[in-house]
């Protein structure tokens, strides 16, 4: 089981409490973006195209903690931009950990070794390091030579200092089942990271490179072939088995983007981390004033190629908890 027993148990209780309270929509994880600025400019990125005065803004610790407390999510993924550019990011992460939120701090790792001493290892805290492939593939993806080596060194140092280290890998049309296996084998077996997240790239309208986003059929083919030889069971993937079935084309379900909402400098983004149809000032307002039925594949053309975890992992988790067989499968996988 990739996710810790503590985290799985905590999530199980949280889900049970939501069910007992008959809450129809609730957050599992918040994608928190306390800034949009980054020290890289990846071609597939849809987050860094804001004007300079927006890129210079930083969300205060109080504002971020207030948003997480209001929505009640048990997990927070701190993203951006590059969170380590934010001068108070260690304080923000520390406040969330003190409130027993499971925090993933997403980073390209360029500043990681320099900033490590400001953080403390905790079962509630994990680094989520961006690695899109082995050296050549990753450096091409982030458009800078040497970043792969910096990230690998940072992973080793963070592990040596007792941190929980996870990775986040996005796949594009340049990838093949072979490159998927190579990078996941490397992270799983050589670097021995604690968990790995994978995602087909979402076709951001603002991303400079529009040629290399995977369609649904390509995504299913890529993952079903990459998973075909049984490695999926061996890899410590931080996803529910049903979501991995979904990536492979063995399961199909609707988007439930309210389960992984996004909070940024602009507020609660409607409907999800990937698309922006305006903002709400609270999670409650987001849930109550968004026409959720208008989104998802077959409903909104911008969703047509989306198989991202922020839309479909919550659906997979809800379906898992409703089925004894799927719950057991998730527990032993
Ligand atoms: S590291 Fe992440 S936030 Fe920065 S440019 Fe690349 S994809 Fe965007
Ligand atoms: S399918 Fe869901 S998660 Fe994907 S872009 Fe549409 S609303 Fe967002």
The pLDDT tens digits for 117-129 are: 999 999 999 999 9
To test the ligand 1 pocket, which listed residue (48, 167, 208) has its Cβ within 8 A of the most ligand atoms?
Answer: 48
With the most atoms of ligand 1 within 8 angstroms of its CB, the residue from 32, 36, 38 to mutate is 38
What digits encode the pLDDT tens for the residues 17-63? Answer: 998 999 999 999 999 999 999 999 988 888 888 999 999 999 999 99
What is the distance in A from the centroid of ligand 2 to the CA of 214? 15
Q: Say whether pLDDT at 236 is over 80.
A: yes
Spacing, Cα 46 to ligand 1 middle (Å): 8
Q: What is the C-alpha to C-alpha distance for residues 158 and 306, in angstroms, rounded to an integer?
A: 32
Spatial neighbors of 332 by CB under 8 A, at least 6 apart, are 1
170 confidence band (pLDDT: 50, 70, 90):
very high
Ligand 2 and 306: CB distance under 6 A: yes
Q: How far is the CA of 57 from the centre of ligand 1 (A)?
A: 17
Q: Is 326 helix (H, G, I), strand (E, B) or coil?
A: helix
Q: Which atom of ligand 1 is nearest to the CA of 106?
A: 2
- The CA distance from 101 to 48, in Å, is 27
Structure tokens at 139: 């450096």
Instruction: Please name which ligand lies nearest the alpha carbon of 304.
Output: 2
Ligand 2 atom at shortest distance from the alpha carbon of 273: 8
Report whether residue 307 contacts ligand 2, using a CB cutoff of 6 Å. Answer: no
Q: Mean pLDDT over all residues of the chain?
A: 93
| CA 263 – CA 267 distance, rounded (Å) | 5
| Residue 256 pLDDT > 90 | yes
Q: Which ligand is nearest to the CA of 144?
A: 1
255 touches ligand 2 (CB under 6 Å)? yes
The pLDDT value recorded for residue 325 is 65
Q: How far does residue 324's CA lie from ligand 1's centre (Å)?
A: 39
Q: Hey, CA dihedral for 312, 188, 114, 149, is it positive or negative?
A: negative
pTM confidence score: 0.94
Q: What is the pLDDT of residue 219?
A: 94
Ligand 2: which atom is nearest the Cα of residue 260? Answer: 3
Asked if 77 and 104 touch (Cβ cutoff 8 Å), the reply is yes
């Amino acid at each position: 089981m990739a996710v810790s027993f503590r985290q799985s148990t905590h999530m199980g209780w949280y889900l049970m409490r939501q069910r007992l309270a008959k809450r129809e929509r609730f957050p599992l994880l918040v994608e928190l973006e306390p800034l949009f600025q980054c020290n890289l400019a990846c071609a597939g990125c849809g987050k860094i195209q804001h004007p300079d005065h927006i890129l210079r803004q930083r969300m205060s610790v109080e504002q971020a903690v207030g948003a997480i407390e209001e929505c009640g999510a048990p997990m927070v993924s701190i993203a951006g931009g590059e969170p380590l550019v934010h001068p108070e990011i260690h304080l923000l992460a520390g406040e969330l950990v003190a409130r027993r939120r499971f925090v993933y701090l997403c980073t390209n790792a360029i500043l990681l070794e320099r900033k490590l001493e400001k953080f403390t290892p905790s079962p509630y805290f994990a680094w989520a390091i961006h690695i899109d492939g082995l050296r050549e593939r990753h450096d091409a993806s982030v458009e800078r030579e040497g970043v792969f080596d910096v990230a690998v060194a940072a992973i080793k140092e963070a592990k040596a200092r007792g941190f929980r280290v996870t990775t986040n890998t996005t796949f594009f049309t340049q990838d093949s089942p072979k490159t998927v296996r190579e990078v996941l084998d490397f992270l799983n077996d050589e670097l021995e990271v604690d968990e790995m997240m994978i995602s087909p790239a979402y076709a951001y309208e603002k991303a400079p490179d529009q040629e290399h986003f995977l369609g649904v059929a390509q995504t299913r083919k890529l993952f079903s072939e990459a998973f075909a030889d049984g490695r999926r069971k061996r890899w410590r993937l931080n996803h529910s088995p049903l979501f991995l079935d979904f990536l492979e084309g063995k399961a199909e379900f609707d988007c439930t983007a309210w389960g992984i909402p996004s909070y940024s400098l602009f507020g609660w983004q409607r409907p999800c981390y990937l698309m922006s149809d305006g903002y709400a000032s609270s999670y409650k307002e987001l849930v109550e004033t968004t026409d959720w039925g208008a989104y998802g594949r077959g409903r909104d053309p911008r969703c047509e190629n989306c198989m991202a975890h922020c839309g479909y992992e919550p659906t997979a988790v809800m379906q898992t908890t409703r089925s004894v067989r799927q719950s057991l499968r998730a527990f032993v996988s």
